[in-house]
Amino acid sequence: MSNEAIQEGESSGHFAVFSSQNSKFRYTYNKVREVKSHRVSELFTAYRDILWDDGRHKYNVSSFIGEIDEILLGERF
């Protein structure tokens, strides 16, 4: 693959030609949703069972998140 092929917009033969005309992606506009603020501890409570298996590591992460929430004084962001 040469730089000239890229600069001139030609197909190099290494990759299939991609353009918006032959793409299977569609972009649509959705309703605007309100962005809600959360505390770090609220996010952790919502996602801890998805992100970590039960065990010592999850316990350590719980302690760390609790300390971070205290340092941030429960600030919502």
- For the stretch 27-76, pLDDT in tens is 777 788 888 999 999 999 999 999 999 999 999 999 999 999 999 999 99
End-to-end Cα distance, the chain = 47
Domain that holds residue 41: 3-71
Number of domain units in the chain: 1
- pLDDT tops 70 at residue 10: no
Do the domain assignments include residue 26? yes
Token pair in block for residue 2: 């040469």
Do the domain assignments include residue 76? no
- pLDDT tops 80 at residue 1: no
- Please report, for residues 21, 44, 46, 64, 74, the alpha-carbon distance to residue 53 in angstroms, rounded to integers and kept in the order given: 44, 13, 14, 16, 25
Do the domain assignments include residue 77? no
